[in-house]
Amino acid sequence: MVSTVILALIVFRQRKTKAIASAMWTILETILLGIFILHATVVVKFFQPSIVQCLLEPWFREMGFVICYGAIILKLYRHLIEFRTRKAHRWVVKDTDLLKYLLIMIASVFAYMSAYTAITLNFIQEDYSLLYIGQTIDGEFYKSCKPLWWDYVTEAGEIVILIFGIHLSYACRNARTQYQERTYLCAAISIELAVSTLFYAARVWLLPGLPPQIALLAWCIRAQLSQTAATLLIFVPKFFYQQKQVRNLAQEYSCRLPVDAFKEAAVAAATAAGSNAHGAPSSGHSGNNSDAEVGEVTLADMSPEDIRAELKRLYLQLEMFKSKTICKDNPHISKRRGGRKAQHRRFSLQQDCRQLGLHMMESIEDI
């Protein structure tokens, strides 16, 4: 849980980097929140079994599940919508739209769990206990929460949601996503589906006869195999690609000069040229700009502000070049200022057709 909080702080700090911003850092923070709540399910198991524990455990499980894997499924849904090829109209799903959809899912699960809690409290008032005393294979007695049919229905619903997420991932299998995000999201859902299916099957046939310590160990292993694996699959590749970009830029600019070095060289050359123009020769500089010698500066010698300024300048140039390339010789973009098409663009309103019609009307009137 502590690592999840630290990772959330790192994501928030690097939210403006390309790898995090392209993956919607708000959704990434939501996934971490869901994983944090899912880990709280294991923390609750450390306490002695009670009615409060039996009520809190499904709440943490279902709310964390819908927040974490609901956000993952919505990211897959966005990839599917963005790469639709059979529709002429392209839909655009914004980050706010995904958050709205996720809030609807959370509200639905909240209503579902509220109904579960109300019915359970009603059973408690009618002297129905949520706890039972079990017996292990060695003959030891232990107290635990009683499994309900409601739990089996909820577990089946989780399996259906995960299968739907795999269906979305298969539907957008040909989509090219940045940093292979679709592959890692699909892997996280697949691992959760496999681990949850095996755990729920073992919970019915194996765990009732095992001691509470082994059952708690099974819950911890389940959390490590599903939640921890999902965290590694989703976030480690993003940080890896981000560091890879930084290393590539470092190698590229290690043999180049920063902007400030060029400025200093230009100022020195201009000063030398001005001195020569007034008849006062400058030592160390001549009138030619090529004579201004500046030593090779590596990336390690540059300050973070210089690196950041240089990267901003390069990104701006790339965006301007991209915009010019898109607009150049594009028949879908009007060359007129304002972007409006000419009125005679339709075939029925062309100028030649109108003149031909006027000549025909004049000839008819003459007859």
List pLDDT tens digits, range 293-347. Answer: 444 556 666 777 888 888 888 888 888 888 877 777 666 666 655 544 445 444 4
pLDDT at 52: 87
Domains and CATH numbers, the chain: 2-252 (1.20.1070), 259-336 (no CATH)
Query: Looking at the chain, which runs of residues are DSSP E strands?
Result: 131-135, 141-145
Q: Is 328 helix (H, G, I), strand (E, B) or coil?
A: coil
Mean pLDDT (whole number) for 99-110: 93
The mean pLDDT of 155-173, rounded to a whole number, is 91
Name the residue among 347, 244, 344, 261 with its Cα closest to residue 298: 261
Residue 271 has pLDDT above 90, yes or no: no
Q: What is the mean pLDDT of residues 169-173?
A: 86
Q: What is the pLDDT of residue 3?
A: 85
Tell me the average pLDDT across 84-92.
Answer: 61
340: left (phi over 0), alpha (psi -120 to 50) or beta: beta
Q: What is the pLDDT of residue 92?
A: 72
Token digits of residue 14: 């690097």
User: What is the amino acid identity at position 53?
Assistant: Q
Mean pLDDT of the chain: 76
Coil/strand/helix, residue 1: coil
Q: pLDDT tens digits, residue range 225-249?
A: 888 888 998 888 888 777 766 565 5
Q: Is 40 exposed, middle or buried (0-12, 13-18, 19+ CB in 10 A)?
A: middle
Kindly tell me if the per-residue pLDDT of 106 is higher than 70.
yes
Interacting residues of 19 by C-beta distance below 8 A, sequence separation 6+: 178, 179, 238, 239, 241, 242, 245
| pLDDT for 279 | 47
